[in-house]
């Protein structure tokens, strides 16, 4: 169903479309908005930025709805960019030092949005229309350039590498409900929604084009690198944020496979991830609110004191690790299926990612909830009901989506269009048992690894230290912690150098204008003035000499 309201002209209309994909995402986004808003009521009580936060939250919902439902590229761009502003604002109000992070986020997402803008202009030019439902372009030279630009915008929104470096910073500086809402849920929904749009509808992404391996590589790298970083984090929220980055890699990998299994897996993973990631952040927020800290070094043993939080945590953690029969398992199986169809290496990357995901969540849970209880937290109680309710609902959702996965998959499958499914249905238990077995082995291995680590180092927190301080890895980890690899920092360094060079050029130009020309002028005027002696005979001589020259020139 399409509604079109004429807006600016030049093919720019306020055109809205409700089809399966956009309806699904819109509903999901709004549900998340509701749950987070509910969660915020006790969480933000007493914080000075509460009022502003609600304002930005609901403002974001306006933009999200607009962007998801928009059928016109320019209208969508308008809403998409609006999210930049609210994202900046929500990070900025978090703490006094949040300005830097807010700027970083703004610049990173802003630059990728600029690329998307270029892509939109190029697409509109190629297709001679801005209406998304009527665009269907092949991926030839210019078409693939447009696709790449749009893709950059989409995956940067989702938080994939290399546009990810603001998310861990925001995890510390921004208010927690922002983290639960935006990077966890909304950005994935928006980014992967747009990626799906451009891959399935607007461009003809097939398995034979070179973009598909590109997408899969980006996805695979994101999975691995981010989860390795997540492994060593000592802060609850930072760890979760790295996982958010890692999970979007699964989605990109899924869509990049360009086969039905992979695409459905990617989309299913999107909604699953939104659910369990936001719930994980909510539990983190619960811990933060009650204990006042998210530093894993200072947490421990609060499982008995906060049972509801703990149970929600367990459910979502096993979902994200891909344990049957929760929803993460099913979406990951579909992604594995698709990845295996395209290449063994992608499959291996995904599986190894799962291993580390499980390991890091075992560590997180152990360190935060099970470990030796601390003295300062002995009075910790459970959070208020208004905060528990969203967590419970989402955790239940994880269970339901896992067991009755025909429900979500039935919503997702029509997005592909009937022809590419060829009548198959991907609901129910995965068909490829070999994959299932491998998954279970990997999970068991992760558990064993964790137990070994605990035994070796004595606490849950240090369970992964044997990986952290492994010979080659420790060097890389050290540098990563110092943000040497951060693309944003590299970019800033380059820009600083460039502006210094420009400044030097500017000084040179100034010298020419202000020093050189003045000196020349003074030189000339001095000698001319000196030549005018005041003696009239000199002047007579000049006149007669001039006369002579003119006559000679004319006559001869």
Shortest Å distance, C-beta 556 to other proteins = 8
How far, in Å, CA of 237 to CA of 417, rounded?
Answer: 39
Binding residues with other proteins: total (CB under 8 A)? 24
For the beta carbon of residue 349, count every other beta carbon within 10 angstroms: 22
Closest to 467 (Cα-Cα) out of 476, 296, 354, 320: 476
- Only segment of 64-72, 408-416, 459-467, 548-556 that touches other proteins (CB under 8 A): 548-556
Question: Which residue in the set 51, 475, 487, 546 belongs to the binding site for other proteins (CB under 8 A)?
Answer: 546
How far, in Å, CA of 251 to CA of 21, rounded?
Answer: 15
CA-based radius of gyration for the chain:
31
How far, in Å, CA of 182 to CA of 159, rounded?
Answer: 10
Q: Are 290 and 368 in contact (CB under 8 A)?
A: no
DSSP code per residue over 182-197:
IIIIIHHHHHHHHHHI
- CB-wise, 27 or 551, nearer to other proteins? 551
Residues 485-544 that bind other proteins (CB under 8 A): 521-522, 524-526, 528-529, 532, 534, 536, 538-540, 542-544
Tell me which residue has tokens 């969480």: 43
Residues 111-170 that bind other proteins (CB under 8 A): none
How far, in Å, CA of 277 to CA of 28, rounded?
Answer: 14
Tell me which residue has tokens 């899969």: 216
Shortest Å distance, C-beta 521 to other proteins = 6
CB burial class (10 A; 0-12, 13-18, 19+) of residue 390? Answer: buried
- CB-wise, 208 or 533, nearer to other proteins? 533
- CB-wise, 344 or 556, nearer to other proteins? 556
Shortest Å distance, C-beta 540 to other proteins = 6
- CB-wise, 344 or 552, nearer to other proteins? 552
- CB-wise, 62 or 538, nearer to other proteins? 538
- In this structure, what token pair is assigned to residue 64? 């999200």
Shortest Å distance, C-beta 508 to other proteins = 20
- CB-wise, 8 or 524, nearer to other proteins? 524
Find out whether the peptide bond into 330 is cis, omega within 30 degrees of 0.
no
Shortest Å distance, C-beta 542 to other proteins = 4
Question: Which residue in the set 8, 407, 501, 547 belongs to the binding site for other proteins (CB under 8 A)?
Answer: 547
- CB-wise, 441 or 538, nearer to other proteins? 538
Shortest Å distance, C-beta 507 to other proteins = 22
Shortest Å distance, C-beta 175 to other proteins = 55
Shortest Å distance, C-beta 510 to other proteins = 17
- CB-wise, 48 or 530, nearer to other proteins? 530
Shortest Å distance, C-beta 519 to other proteins = 13
**Alpha helical stretches, state H, 44-132:** 50-69, 73-92, 98-127
- In this structure, what token pair is assigned to residue 257? 């496979």
- Residue 509 C-alpha from the chain's centroid: 42
- CB-wise, 433 or 554, nearer to other proteins? 554
The SS3 of residue 443 is helix
Contact positions toward other proteins, by CB under 8 A? 521-522, 524-526, 528-529, 532, 534, 536, 538-540, 542-547, 550-551, 553-555
């Amino acid at each position: 169903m399409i509604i079109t309201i004429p807006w600016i002209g030049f093919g720019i209309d306020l055109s809205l479309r409700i089809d399966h994909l956009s309806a699904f995402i819109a509903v999901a986004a709004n549900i998340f908005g509701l749950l987070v808003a509910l969660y915020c009521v006790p969480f933000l009580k007493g914080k000075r930025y509460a009022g502003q936060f609600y304002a930005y939250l609901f403002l974001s919902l306006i933009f999200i709805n607009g962007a998801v439902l928009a059928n016109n590229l320019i209208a969508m761009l308008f809403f998409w960019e609006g999210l930049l502003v609210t994202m900046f604002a929500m990070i900025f109000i978090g703490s006094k030092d949040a300005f830097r992070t807010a700027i970083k986020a703004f610049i990173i997402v802003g630059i990728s949005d600029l690329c998307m803008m270029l892509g939109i202009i190029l697409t509109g030019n190629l297709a001679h229309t801005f209406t998304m439902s009527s665009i269907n372009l092949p991926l030839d030279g210019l078409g693939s350039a447009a696709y790449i630009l749009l893709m950059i915008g989409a995956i940067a929104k989702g938080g994939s590498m290399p546009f990810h470096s603001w998310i861990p910073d925001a995890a510390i500086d921004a208010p927690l409900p922002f983290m639960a809402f935006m990077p966890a849920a909304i950005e994935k929904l928006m980014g992967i929604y747009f990626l799906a749009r451009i891959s399935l509808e607007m461009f003809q992404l097939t398995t034979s084009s070179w973009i598909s391996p590109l997408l899969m590589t980006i996805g695979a790298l994101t999975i691995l690198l981010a989860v390795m970083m997540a492994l060593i984090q000592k802060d609850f929220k930072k760890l979760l944020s790295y996982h958010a980055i890692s999970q979007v890699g699964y989605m990109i990998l899924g869509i990049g496979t360009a086969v039905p299994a992979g695409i459905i897996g990617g989309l299913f993973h999107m909604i699953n991830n939104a659910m369990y990631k936001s719930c994980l952040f909510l539990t983190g927020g619960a811990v933060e609110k009650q204990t006042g800290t998210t530093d894993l070094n200072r947490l421990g043993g609060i499982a008995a004191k906060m049972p509801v939080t703990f149970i929600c945590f367990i459910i979502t953690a096993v979902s994200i690790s891909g344990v049957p029969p929760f929803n993460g398992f099913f979406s990951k199986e579909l992604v594995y299926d698709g990845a295996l169809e395209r290449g063994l290496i992608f499959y291996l990357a995904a599986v190894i990612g799962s291993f580390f995901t499980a390991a890091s969540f075992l560590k997180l849970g152990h360190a935060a909830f099970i470990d030796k209880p601390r003295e300062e937290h002995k009075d910790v109680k459970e959070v208020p009901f208004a905060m528990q309710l969203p967590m419970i609902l989402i955790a239940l959702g994880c269970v339901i989506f896992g067991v009755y996965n025909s429900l979500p998959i039935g919503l997702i499958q029509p997005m592909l269009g009937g022809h590419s499914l060829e009548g198959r249905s991907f609901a129910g238990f995965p068909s490829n048992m070999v994959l299932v077995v491998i998954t279970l082995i990997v999970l068991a291995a992760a558990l064993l690894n964790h137990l070994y680590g605990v035994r070796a180092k004595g606490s849950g927190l240090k369970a992964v230290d044997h990986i952290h301080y492994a010979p080659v890895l420790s060097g890389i980890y050290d540098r990563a912690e110092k943000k040497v690899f951060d693309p944003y920092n590299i970019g800033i360094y380059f820009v600083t150098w460039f502006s210094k060079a420009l400044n030097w050029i500017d000084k040179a130009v100034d010298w020419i204008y202000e020093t050189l020309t003045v000196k020349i002028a003074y030189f000339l005027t001095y000698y001319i003035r000196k030549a005018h002696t005041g003696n009239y005979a000199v002047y007579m001589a000049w006149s007669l000499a001039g006369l002579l020259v003119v006559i000679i020139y004319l006559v001869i």
